[in-house]
Amino acid sequence: MTAQASGIDTRLLRAQAVLYEAGKLALSHFGALASLPVEIKQNGQDIVSAADREVEMLVRDRIAETFPDDGFLGEEYGLSARSSGYTWVLDPIDGTSCFVHGSRSWCISIALLKGGETVAGLILDPSADELFTAVSGGGAFLNGRPIAVDSRTDMQHGLIGVGASFRVPPRAVSGFIERLLDRGGMFVRSGSGALSLAHVACGRLAGYYEPHIHAWDCLAGLCLIREAGGWTADFAADGDLMRGGPVLGCPPQLSEDLLDLIAATSAERAA
């Protein structure tokens, strides 16, 4: 085992333990929503709860106890650069709107980067007691069992997850959905991009597309899909994790079809 592999494996084990602790904290807030403080972010459309902030601080603190020289990028408290070359990218609760309304479509997502490359991804769905894990070159797993994308599905028989946000024009989403329906496909929207990507990795969804998403929402899920035998479009290829961008992940046989729908939607908007 190389020193780098040993470092990744050690961090993965620590992250799993931390995620289970964070999941218990999040569930304690989920069970007491009537008393949960919720705020509107400056853009007026995103929301943040006390649960988001507490979960992020717990994960940051626990990781720092063992790996004090690792960097951290979290949705709520931003980037903290360190010297080890490793960076953790965390969404403490992906699907906050679902969370605060009592819907169980939310999760905790964390990716591990080494020199800018995603080398591990973990997504915990506390409500379902499901932990998705992947290490670059080591496969993808759900509660310790290997998972794979659906290699037999097609556009007409699979479900395509679609994400939306205020950061893109409505037509960027509705145009894609219209074309998908015209091709005989069907879409679902769960409210959590990270959890949707994990569901692509285990074959529950045939693909996931969102015109704009943040790094903390998707890096772990994209790692899961690749390690589960799937295909993902380049995300933040220039290394700018703060800007975000479009995300697409699916089994290899669907990549061209989905890219065609996206290109046609983009062409319509540019016309």
Model confidence pLDDT, tens digit, residues 163-180: 998 889 999 999 999 999
The parent domain of residue 191 ranges over 159-270
Name the E strands within the chain.
38-40, 47-49, 71-74, 78-80, 86-94, 107-114, 117-125, 130-135, 139-142, 145-146, 159-162, 186-188, 207-213, 231-232, 245-250
Eight-class DSSP state of 11: H
Residue 93 assigned as binding residue: yes
- One domain for residues 142 and 15: yes
Whether residue 236 is contained in a domain is answered as yes
State pLDDT tens for residues 61-94: 999 999 999 999 998 888 898 999 999 999 999 9
- One domain for residues 21 and 96: yes
Whether residue 126 is contained in a domain is answered as yes
- One domain for residues 92 and 180: no
pLDDT greater than 80 at residue 30: yes
- One domain for residues 42 and 93: yes
Distance from C-alpha of 112 to C-alpha of 138, rounded to nearest angstrom? 14
- One domain for residues 139 and 171: no
Whether residue 152 is contained in a domain is answered as no
* Cα→Cα distances 128→104, 132, 199, 212, 238, Å: 9, 11, 13, 27, 35
DSSP SS3 for 117: strand
CATH number of the domain within which 76 lies: 3.30.540.10
State pLDDT tens for residues 206-215: 999 999 999 9
How far is residue 258 CA from its own chain's centroid? 19
Whether residue 151 is contained in a domain is answered as no
Torsion angle, alpha carbons of 91, 192, 222, 156, to 10: 180
Block residue for tokens 């994790």? 241
Residue 56 assigned as binding residue: no
Query: What's the pLDDT at 122?
Result: 98
Whether residue 92 is contained in a domain is answered as yes
Residue 217 assigned as binding residue: yes
Which has the closest alpha carbon to 132: 249, 11, 228?
228
- One domain for residues 211 and 124: no
Block residue for tokens 């965390």? 90
Which amino acid makes up residue 196? S
Distance from C-alpha of 74 to C-alpha of 217, rounded to nearest angstrom? 10
- One domain for residues 92 and 167: no
Torsion angle, alpha carbons of 246, 50, 83, 11, to 10: -80
CATH number of the domain within which 213 lies: 3.40.190.80
Q: How many domains does the chain have?
A: 2
Give the residue from 122, 146, 170 where a domain finishes. Answer: 146
Whether residue 266 is contained in a domain is answered as yes
Give the residue from 111, 146, 181 where a domain finishes. Answer: 146
Q: 24-38, 118-132, 214-228 — which is least confidently predicted?
A: 24-38
- One domain for residues 41 and 140: yes
Whether residue 198 is contained in a domain is answered as yes
Query: What's the pLDDT at 211?
Result: 96
- One domain for residues 238 and 166: yes
- One domain for residues 136 and 249: no
Query: What's the pLDDT at 42?
Result: 53
* 48 or 193, greater pLDDT: 193
What average pLDDT is seen over the chain?
93
Distance from C-alpha of 87 to C-alpha of 89, rounded to nearest angstrom? 6
- One domain for residues 132 and 255: no
Eight-class DSSP state of 252: G
Query: What's the pLDDT at 41?
Result: 63
pLDDT greater than 50 at residue 140: yes
Which has the closest alpha carbon to 176: 270, 271, 269, 245?
269
Give the residue from 146, 173, 197 where a domain finishes. Answer: 146
Whether residue 77 is contained in a domain is answered as yes
DSSP SS3 for 231: strand
- One domain for residues 118 and 241: no
pLDDT greater than 50 at residue 183: yes
Query: What's the pLDDT at 1?
Result: 46
